[in-house]
A and B are shown apart, each in its own frame.
Chain A
Amino acid sequence: MIRVIQLMPVLVGLAAASPALFAQTKARVVVPAERIFPMATTLGAVTASPATISFAATDPDLGPFTGSSSATVSWTTSGGAAGSTWTLKVQAAAATFASCATVPTSAVTAMCTGVAGGTGGACTGGSGFALSTAGQQVASGKEATGIGKSYSVTINFTLADSWSYIAKSSCTLSLTYTVTAP
């Protein structure tokens, strides 16, 4: 009996001082809308095929020469959001072809011819644009939702031949494709 008399005031006292301990206590964080950020899209490796595209500049008077193949740039996304836009850019490593300083990077015209994957994918650059050392947008579109969603962009390249080029074989130019997805 003595024990009971001693416990009761303690329980009553706790209930009066901290009613929250006895209510439904679930943590609640209020974050302003402008501070909410969606989860980022995860990009898979960007690959370009084939690894090398060749041109045979045989006669400047015959007009531009088409590359040996189109380039297909491919990648995947996971966790994409339907409202988010991806972009693909291309950028040359130098202002002229390596070992061929007379052949400018701007002699190559890139033209996007097809976009697959996601929704609303579209080429940019119209009838093509001259390559440069600055990143230039090739295509864009909306992301696909889900895991491992595939995308590909097809690009044709043409080379404007010129009599001002010094004849030489194995002139090379490295292009970097960059995919950005929010």
Chain B
Amino acid sequence: MKRQYILALAAALISAPASYGQFAASGTTTLSVTVSAEAALSVTTSTTTLAALGTIFNPYTGTTNLTYKIRTSQSTGTGNVTLKVTSDFSPANGPSVTTPPSAGDALTYTCTAAAPATGCSSATTASTASATSVATFGAGASSANAGNAASTAWSLTNDPVYHTGSYTATVTYTISAT
């Protein structure tokens, strides 16, 4: 009987090799990320030349191109691009944003901006006193990694009282996101 028992056990082991398969065990980690609202822009037209073309005393015009990058918060985020004339035209006796030589003289601009931005809807007068809107963004906005395009098309009154010469002003663009 003992012999028969041993043989039976051996047979069971031989016929059940699957019970010797690999053992595995596992553990876990949680990765957590906080994606912050962020924005950046690059003015790709470092110097914009305003030139009067066509009919005499046509406005001086030119375009400044931008590339913006942005991501806003999912449900409550906003974003905007603004500009401000941080240094008025110089030298004197030419155009001026702060103190135009004639009533109606102005530096104005219109905007274009690729989605998800919404560009300014109408011509806007630039100011040295406050920032004015170029584009706005809603919640959950995100740009391409390479950035999206936007631009401002400038128009400066061509006033006969301006003395001839070259005048320079500085405009600062700002982008923000929440």
**If A176-B27, A180-B22 touch, does A163 touch B32 (CB 8 Å cutoff)?**
no
**Neighbour of B28 across the interface among A35, A175, A182, CB < 8 A:** A175
B34 A171 Cβ-Cβ under 8 A: yes
Chain B interface bracket (under 10, 10 to 19, 20 to 34, 35 or more): 35 or more
B74 A166 Cβ-Cβ under 8 A: yes
Query: Given the complex, which residues of A lie within 8 Å of B72, measured CB to CB?
Result: 166-167
Chain A interface bracket (under 10, 10 to 19, 20 to 34, 35 or more): 35 or more
A168 B22 Cβ-Cβ under 8 A: no
B71 A53 Cβ-Cβ under 8 A: no
Q: Chain A interface secondary structure, helix, strand, loop or mixed?
A: strand
Q: Which residue of A lies closest to B141 (CB)?
A: A166
Give me the interface of B with A, judged by CB distance under 8 Å: 2-3, 6-7, 10, 14, 17, 20-38, 40, 69-74, 77, 140, 142-145, 147, 177
A37 B17 Cβ-Cβ under 8 A: yes
**Neighbour of A175 across the interface among B2, B30, B36, CB < 8 A:** B30
**Neighbour of A167 across the interface among B14, B27, B177, CB < 8 A:** B177
Query: Given the complex, which residues of A lie within 8 Å of B30, measured CB to CB?
Result: 51-53, 172-175
Give me the interface of A with B, judged by CB distance under 8 Å: 25, 27, 29, 31, 35, 37-48, 50-61, 67, 71, 73, 75, 97, 100, 102-103, 108, 157, 159, 161-182
Query: Given the complex, which residues of A lie within 8 Å of B17, measured CB to CB?
Result: 35, 37
Query: Given the complex, which residues of B lie within 8 Å of A172, measured CB to CB?
Result: 30-33
B34 A55 Cβ-Cβ under 8 A: yes
30 pairs, CB–CB < 8 Å, chain A vs chain B: A29-B6, A40-B23, A43-B23, A45-B27, A46-B25, A51-B28, A51-B29, A53-B30, A54-B33, A56-B33, A58-B38, A60-B69, A60-B71, A60-B145, A97-B33, A103-B33, A164-B71, A164-B142, A165-B71, A166-B71, A167-B73, A167-B177, A168-B34, A170-B32, A171-B34, A172-B30, A173-B32, A174-B30, A178-B24, A178-B26
Given A41-B23, A48-B28, A162-B145, 14 new contacts (CB under 8 A) = A39-B20, A46-B25, A61-B40, A97-B33, A103-B35, A163-B69, A164-B143, A174-B30, A176-B26, A176-B27, A179-B25, A180-B22, A181-B22, A181-B23
**If A37-B20, A164-B144 touch, does A57 touch B35 (CB 8 Å cutoff)?**
yes
A114–B26 CA distance with the chains assembled, in angstroms: 19
B26 A171 Cβ-Cβ under 8 A: no
B144 A163 Cβ-Cβ under 8 A: yes
**Neighbour of A163 across the interface among B28, B33, B77, B142, CB < 8 A:** B142
Within the complex, the shortest CB–CB distance from A32 to chain B, in Å, comes to 9
Query: Given the complex, which residues of B lie within 8 Å of A55, measured CB to CB?
Result: 31-34
Within the complex, the shortest CB–CB distance from A154 to chain B, in Å, comes to 12
A46–B29 CA distance with the chains assembled, in angstroms: 11
A172–B147 CA distance with the chains assembled, in angstroms: 27
Q: Which residue of B lies closest to A56 (CB)?
A: B34
Query: Given the complex, which residues of A lie within 8 Å of B32, measured CB to CB?
Result: 52-55, 170-173
Query: Given the complex, which residues of A lie within 8 Å of B20, measured CB to CB?
Result: 37-40
Q: Which residue of B lies closest to A36 (CB)?
A: B14
A46–B23 CA distance with the chains assembled, in angstroms: 12
B35 A44 Cβ-Cβ under 8 A: no
**If A42-B23, A168-B74 touch, does A31 touch B33 (CB 8 Å cutoff)?**
no
B3 A173 Cβ-Cβ under 8 A: no
